[in-house]
Amino acid sequence: MDTETEMDPDADWLAEYVKKAKDSFDIFEKQVYEHGELDQKTKELIAVACSTVLRSENGVVQHTGAAKDLGATEDEIAAALGVAWLTTGSTQIYWMKDAYEELLDTAWYKRQLPEASKAFGEFHEAIFDHSELDRMVAELVGVGVSIVSRCQHCTEAHAKQAMGHGASKQDVAEAIAVAWAVGAESQVGWTDVYDTVLSGEEEDEH
């Protein structure tokens, strides 16, 4: 997968400065997506969800297109996005649970917000139990999203669920690698904001 296509063609300042690193990243990215035991379509669905959580427009376009080219249906892509929707909510629950436990006591959210907690449980069921994706694949998408959301509890939970539904440790490792790659590639898009500053155009205006 060529990250050159993700960059603004005018962003030469970055390409020239980090050419060696970027060439190495291209090799790393190719290894992640094109090698291993996990099928490429699953990897691209993980990447779609991770790109969405990281708000990487380039990543969403690139990985959605790649997933479709590999045979992913719109329903499968929507299901992967559903996992991202749910999992990002779950990461907040576990962060809030720990952060406010001392102030509000253990399991405060279940006691103070019983209806919301029940509804979220039903949301979880709708995403995972009624998905267009195989449960193992859905859980591997959850692994990737949990990593880019930086939730250790969710990462461990989805990894265990994935293995409980047939994933190998190698499959989980490759899902982690996809999140690793998407996290790095998503930063490329953010360099666009520096193009004007570092090109000197802003100084020329004054």
| Total Cβ atoms within 10 A of residue 103 | 7
In CATH terms, the superfamily for domain 12-192 is: AhpD-like (1.20.1290.10)
Q: Give the residue ranges of DSSP H helices in the chain.
A: 12-17, 19-34, 40-53, 57-69, 74-99, 101-104, 108-112, 114-129, 135-148, 152-164, 169-190, 195-199, 201-204
Four-residue CA torsion sign, 108, 114, 116, 120: positive
How high is the pLDDT of residue 190?
65
d(CA 109, CA 70): 42
List, for residues 13-24, the tens digit of each pLDDT value. Answer: 666 777 778 788
User: What is the per-residue pLDDT for 71?
Assistant: 97
Residue spans of the domains in the chain: they are 12-192
pLDDT < 70 stretches in the chain: 1-15, 189-206
pLDDT tens digits, one per residue of 27-69? 899 999 999 999 999 999 999 999 999 998 889 999 999 999 9
Residue written as token pair 């996005």:
81
Residues of the chain with pLDDT > 90, as a percent, come to 51
Compute the half-sphere exposure of residue 119: CA atoms within 13 Å on the CB side of its CA: 6
